[in-house]
């Protein structure tokens, strides 16, 4: 289950990177949310296995 959630967050973050360059406004916000989504996708499995 954690793999599916992490994969969705990772791919969603990459999609947000692409969208950030296509929109006219809020580019920085969308790009930052994409970075945060990818960071969360990497951190969740590490946190889960550390317990």
Q: What is the pLDDT of residues 31-42, one digit of tens each?
A: 999 999 999 999
pLDDT of residue 49: 73
Q: Please, which pLDDT band fits residue 13 given cuts at 50, 70 and 90?
A: very high
Q: Please, which pLDDT band fits residue 48 given cuts at 50, 70 and 90?
A: confident
Listed in sequence order, the residues at least 6 apart from 30 whose beta carbon sits closer than 8 Å to its beta carbon are: 16, 19, 20, 23
Q: Report the chain's mean pLDDT, rounded to a whole number.
A: 92
pLDDT of residue 51: 60
């Amino acid at each position: 289950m954690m793999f599916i959630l992490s994969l969705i967050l990772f791919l969603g973050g990459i999609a947000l990177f692409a969208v950030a360059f296509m929109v006219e406004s809020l580019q920085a916000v969308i790009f930052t949310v994409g970075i945060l989504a990818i960071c969360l996708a990497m951190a969740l499995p590490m946190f889960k296995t550390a317990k």
